[in-house]
Amino acid sequence: MAENNTLIYYLDENNVILNTSEILAKQNICKNYFDFINDEMLKIILSRIFDSVRKKGSPFKTSYRCDNEDELRLYDLEITPMVNNILKLKHELVNTTKRATKLHFSSNSDIIFTMCAWCNKIKYRDIFIELEDAVNKMKLLEYNFLPKFSHGICPDCYTGLIKEIEEYERK
């Protein structure tokens, strides 16, 4: 894997971002991690993970997807407790797969869709589906744009994460 595949930053006891590598924009420093998250379910589950790691004192590992326009990208996330309730968040790119078709994310669309922060599926009506399926269903490419996304969490990932946390807490 090439360099820049690992992103590390720290959250203080109030989940304020302490330090970032160059990938994360400088203006993100000093902001609260949860300022970036609007979705209540996502807030609940991330708070639970952070609290659990601080309480238990051992690293929690999981994986998630953070795709871009032409690749599906799988990341490992390791959350490690440090002194003074500081958490170290290490995101590491572990696998990439080319998309069948390159998609063009538009930044000037007014439409905002919810994307699962864990599997990158898109909420379409009441279910979460793969982005490619969403594109077909909504015929977005005909208009040559893709909507903006806000992050949420789909029911499958929510259930899966709860299981992972419960297992972690039991160990």
- Specify the DSSP class assigned to residue 147: -
* Gap between the Cα atoms of 85 and 82, Å rounded: 6
- How distant, in Å, are the alpha carbons of 89, 111, 121 from that of 170? 22, 42, 30
Among 53, 87, 116, 134, binds Zn ion (CB under 5 A): 116
Among 66, 86, 93, 119, binds Zn ion (CB under 5 A): 119
| Stretch binding Zn ion (CB under 5 A), from 31-39, 47-55, 110-118, 159-167 | 110-118
54's enclosing H/E stretch is: helix 40-56
Residue 118 binds to Zn ion (criterion: CB under 5 A):
yes
| Minimal distance, residue 65 CB to Zn ion, in Å | 8
**Residues sharing a CB contact under 8 Å with residue 20, sequence separation 6 or more, in sequence order:** 7, 9, 26, 28, 29
Residue 66 binds to Zn ion (criterion: CB under 5 A):
no
Q: What angle do CA 33, 37, 40 make, to 5 degrees?
A: 120
Residue 113 binds to Zn ion (criterion: CB under 5 A):
no
- Encoding tokens for residue 45? 């589950």
Q: Which residue, 119 or 135, is less far from Zn ion as judged by CB?
A: 119
| Stretch binding Zn ion (CB under 5 A), from 105-113, 117-125, 138-146, 163-171 | 117-125
Among 11, 157, 161, 165, binds Zn ion (CB under 5 A): 157
| Minimal distance, residue 36 CB to Zn ion, in Å | 18
Q: Which residue, 17 or 37, is less far from Zn ion as judged by CB?
A: 37
40's enclosing H/E stretch is: helix 40-56
In the complex, the residues that contact Zn ion under the rule CB under 5 A are: 116, 118-119, 154, 157
